């Protein structure tokens, strides 16, 4: 892949992110750990890809008409991607978010001009869950489409058609494993499917946070959650349409403490300011590297920027309230 330095459309800024060799994780695993810099997307997260593919798909199906509204339920990052894509294409956006997500994401959505509705966090089975609320709002509104990122496979197609070929080309076809955590499953399933099309010997691994049910599903065939996590955007309790048929060979479960340790080390040792799902992904990539052995090459996703979590992950007060270890350099402030 040659990454063009001039582009004819702002939407072409989505994707074609760079892949960086992570020194500390590579040393820890005894192999090469590469991170896909998804914070380079215009909305600073991996979810810009899903947003663009979902909107283009709705246009192609004739569902989204000029001046229409894109409605979505999201932990925040997909909403930010949708708001930017909607602005670029002349649509409106209405975003429904659980009110326990980061303040920075809510402020960003309002700043981008999206209409924001927040709802209390609740179980998926509850009809007031943010996903169901967003579907209802879309149904009630003229000219609106529901993006439905969890069960709309245009989401995983984004990764099948963009993330996977980018990684394959960037590593010149020398890749042994790929892993990431699951929110909708679009990234893991789409990138996994795409990489397997290039070489079906590439090991695809799920990296699950605690509080999610997928580790037990892929390990033991039972959707069962244990523990909890404060990570935003990841942690799934069901097999979404995006996950159906995902080529998952193995699975790891990573605690918030392990993920936070890598968030801290990547910031202090490599100058990368990331969110917790990136730290969990890197810990999962190290586990996969240890399993695949010395000399192997593993890729994972650096999902979003840490600047989105200054009042949570990067706040001593917040970390203490969550009974999580406080980063050394935050202690005295
Ligand atoms: C910060 C972050 N990491 C990871 C993910 C998971 O990506 P996916 O929905 O493709 O499984 C998301 C999804 O919203 C996210 O916001």
Compute the distance from residue 333 Cα to the ligand 1 centre, in Å: 31
Please work out whether the CB of residue 191 comes within 6 Å of at least one atom of ligand 1: no
pLDDT at position 315:
96
- Is residue 76 predicted with pLDDT exceeding 60? yes
Q: Report the predicted TM-score, pTM, of the whole model to 2 decimal places.
A: 0.97
Same domain, 243 and 222: yes
- Is residue 75 predicted with pLDDT exceeding 90? no
Same domain, 222 and 309: yes
Residue 237 located in a structural domain = yes
Please work out whether the CB of residue 41 comes within 6 Å of at least one atom of ligand 1: no
Same domain, 265 and 185: yes
Please work out whether the CB of residue 209 comes within 6 Å of at least one atom of ligand 1: no
Contacts of 330 (CB under 8 A, 6+ apart): 314, 315, 316, 319
Same domain, 278 and 322: yes
Same domain, 190 and 230: yes
- pLDDT, one tens digit per residue, over 146-157 is 999 999 999 999
Same domain, 128 and 20: no
Compute the distance from residue 135 Cα to the ligand 1 centre, in Å: 20
Same domain, 308 and 188: yes
Stretch 293-300: mean pLDDT, rounded? Answer: 97
- Is residue 25 predicted with pLDDT exceeding 70? yes
CA distance 271 to 333: 20
What angle is formed at CA 218 by the lines to CA 213 and CA 220, rounded to 5 degrees?
A: 90
Residue 2 located in a structural domain = no
CATH number at residue 223: 3.40.50.1100
Return the ligand 1 atom nearest residue 149 CA: 9
Please work out whether the CB of residue 38 comes within 6 Å of at least one atom of ligand 1: no
Half-sphere exposure of 192 (CA within 13 A, CB side): 23
Compute the distance from residue 47 Cα to the ligand 1 centre, in Å: 7
Closest Cα to atom 1, ligand 1: which residue? 233
Stretch 231-246: mean pLDDT, rounded? Answer: 97
Compute the distance from residue 296 Cα to the ligand 1 centre, in Å: 25
Pocket test for ligand 1, best of 184, 239, 254 (most atoms within 8 A of CB): 184
pLDDT band at 1 (very low <50, low <70, confident <90, very high): low
- pLDDT, one tens digit per residue, over 35-69 is 999 999 999 999 999 999 999 999 999 999 999 99
Compute the distance from residue 309 Cα to the ligand 1 centre, in Å: 15
Catalytic positions, written as ranges: 47
User: Where a domain ends, among 146, 171, 199?
Assistant: 146
- Is residue 302 predicted with pLDDT exceeding 90? yes
pLDDT at position 333:
52
Residue 62 located in a structural domain = yes
Please work out whether the CB of residue 192 comes within 6 Å of at least one atom of ligand 1: no
Pocket test for ligand 1, best of 232, 278, 303, 306 (most atoms within 8 A of CB): 303
Residue 239 located in a structural domain = yes
How would you list the strands of the sheet with 32-37, edge to edge?
19-21, 32-37, 297-302, 177-180, 203-209, 250-254
Residue 5 located in a structural domain = no
Please work out whether the CB of residue 277 comes within 6 Å of at least one atom of ligand 1: yes
Same domain, 216 and 179: yes
3-state helix/strand/coil string of the chain = CCCCCCCCCHHHHCCCCCEEECHHHHHHHCCEEEEEEHHHCCCCECHHHHHHHHHHHHHHCCCCCCCCEEEEECCCHHHHHHHHHHHHHCCEEEEEEECCCCHHHHHHHHHHCCEEEEECCCCCCCCCCHHHHHHHHHHHCCCEEECCCCCCCHHHHHHHHHHHHHHHHHCCCCCCEEEECCCCCHHHHHHHHHHHHHCCCCEEEEEEECCCCHHHHHHHCCCCCCCCCCCCCCCCCCCCCCCCCCCCCEEEEECHHHHHHHHHHHHHHHCCCECHHHHHHHHHHHHHHHHHCCCCEEEEEECEEHHHHCCCCCCHHHHHHCCCCCCHHHCCC
pLDDT band at 101 (very low <50, low <70, confident <90, very high): confident
pLDDT band at 3 (very low <50, low <70, confident <90, very high): confident
User: Where a domain ends, among 146, 171, 197?
Assistant: 146
Residue 104 located in a structural domain = yes
Domain count, the chain: 2
Same domain, 237 and 264: yes
Closest by CA position to 195, among listed 244, 246, 154, 128: 246
Same domain, 167 and 21: yes
Same domain, 218 and 321: yes
Please work out whether the CB of residue 183 comes within 6 Å of at least one atom of ligand 1: yes
Same domain, 237 and 117: no
Pocket test for ligand 1, best of 35, 36, 39, 47 (most atoms within 8 A of CB): 47
For residue 298, CA distances in Å to 59, 198, 288 come to 36, 15, 8
Residue 306 located in a structural domain = yes
Containing structural domain, residue 108: 47-146
For residue 51, CA distances in Å to 74, 85, 256, 330 come to 11, 7, 27, 35
Please work out whether the CB of residue 194 comes within 6 Å of at least one atom of ligand 1: no
């Amino acid at each position: 892949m040659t990454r063009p330095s001039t582009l004819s459309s702002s939407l072409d800024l989505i994707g074609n992110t760079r892949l960086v060799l992570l020194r500390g994780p590579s040393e820890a695993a005894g192999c090469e750990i590469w991170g896909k810099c998804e914070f380079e997307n215009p909305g600073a997260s991996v979810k810009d890809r899903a947003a663009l593919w979902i909107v283009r798909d709705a246009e192609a199906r004739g569902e989204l008409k000029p001046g229409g509204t894109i409605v979505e339920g999201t932990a925040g990052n997909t909403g930010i991607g949708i708001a930017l894509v909607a602005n670029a294409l002349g649509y409106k956006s209405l975003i429904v978010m659980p009110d326990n997500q980061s303040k920075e994401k809510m402020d960003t959505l309002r700043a981008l001009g999206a209409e924001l509705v927040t709802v209390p966090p609740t179980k998926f089975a509850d009809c007031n869950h943010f996903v169901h609320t967003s579907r209802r709002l879309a149904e009630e509104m003229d000219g609106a489409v529901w993006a439905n990122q969890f069960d709309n496979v245009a989401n995983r197609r984004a990764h099948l058609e963009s993330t996977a070929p980018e990684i394959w080309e960037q590593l010149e076809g020398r890749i042994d494993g790929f892993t990431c955590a699951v929110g909708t499953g679009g990234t893991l399933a789409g990138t996994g499917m795409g990489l397997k099309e290039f070489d079906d010997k590439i090991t695809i691994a799920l990296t699950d946070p605690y509080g999610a049910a997928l580790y037990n599903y892929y390990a033991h065939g039972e959707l069962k959650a244990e523990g909890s996590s404060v990570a935003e955007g990841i942690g799934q309790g069901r097999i979404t349409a995006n996950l159906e048929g995902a080529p998952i060979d193995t699975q790891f479960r990573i605690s918030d403490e392990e993920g936070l340790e890598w968030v801290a080390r990547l910031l202090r040792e490599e100058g990368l300011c990331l969110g917790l799902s990136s730290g969990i992904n890197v810990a999962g990539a190290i586990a996969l590297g240890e399993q695949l052995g010395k000399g192997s090459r593993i890729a994972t996703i650096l999902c979003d920027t840490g600047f989105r979590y200054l009042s949570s992950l990067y706040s001593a007060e917040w970390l203490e309230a969550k009974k999580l270890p406080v980063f050394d350099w935050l202690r005295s402030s």
